[in-house]
């Protein structure tokens, strides 16, 4: 299976998940919702790791890699998802999701500033489109 299949599959499930989250947040607070989500994800990954005998690979990961991936998990799954759930609880899915899905703009700026990536005309134009899209979503 090629990259397009996986990208489309991710798109479908990422498009479906805010509906579950919005409905789940009707009778739950964001912390509890995030905890339930995380327990479910942990259980699924643990079972996957056991079924495919991949848990042993954890001991081969270098400490720096552990630190970086734990940092990513805390930033995205704890802080980011908590803020996302709060936004979903208070706002419309059709407004919240496009704005939170604009995170590539932040990644672009940080990649240029911290990783030495270059800003091409296409990437610059894409960034302008993201900012314009956020404005339009909030305005209308």
Per residue in 3-50, pLDDT tens? 999 999 999 999 999 999 999 999 999 999 999 999 999 999 999 999
Half-sphere exposure of 133 (CA within 13 A, CB side): 18
DSSP structure class, residue 58: G
Which tens digits make up the pLDDT trace of 59-101?
Answer: 999 999 999 999 999 999 999 999 999 999 999 999 999 999 9
DSSP structure class, residue 59: G
- Cβ neighbourhood burial of 100 (10 Å; 0-12, 13-18, 19+): middle
Q: Helix crossing, 81-90 with 93-100: angle to 10°? A: 150
Tell me the whole-structure pTM to 2 decimals: 0.85
Per-domain boundaries in the chain: 3-91, 102-140
Q: Give the DSSP H or E segment for 107.
A: helix 103-115
Instruction: Reduce the DSSP state of residue 63 to 3 states and report it.
Output: helix
């Amino acid at each position: 299976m090629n990259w397009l299949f996986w990208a489309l599959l991710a798109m479908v499930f990422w498009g479906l998940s805010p509906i579950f989250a919005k409905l789940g947040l009707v009778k739950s607070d964001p912390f509890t919702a995030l905890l339930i989500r995380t327990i479910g994800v942990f259980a699924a990954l643990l079972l996957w790791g056991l079924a495919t005998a991949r848990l042993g690979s954890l001991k081969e990961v270098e400490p720096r890699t552990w630190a970086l991936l734990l940092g990513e998990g805390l930033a995205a799954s704890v802080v980011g998802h908590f803020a996302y759930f709060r936004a979903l609880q208070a706002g419309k899915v059709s407004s919240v999701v496009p704005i939170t899905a604009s995170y590539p703009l932040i990644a672009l700026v940080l990649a240029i500033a911290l990783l030495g990536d270059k800003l091409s005309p296409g990437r610059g134009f894409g960034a302008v489109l993201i900012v314009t899209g956020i404005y339009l979503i909030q305005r209308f």
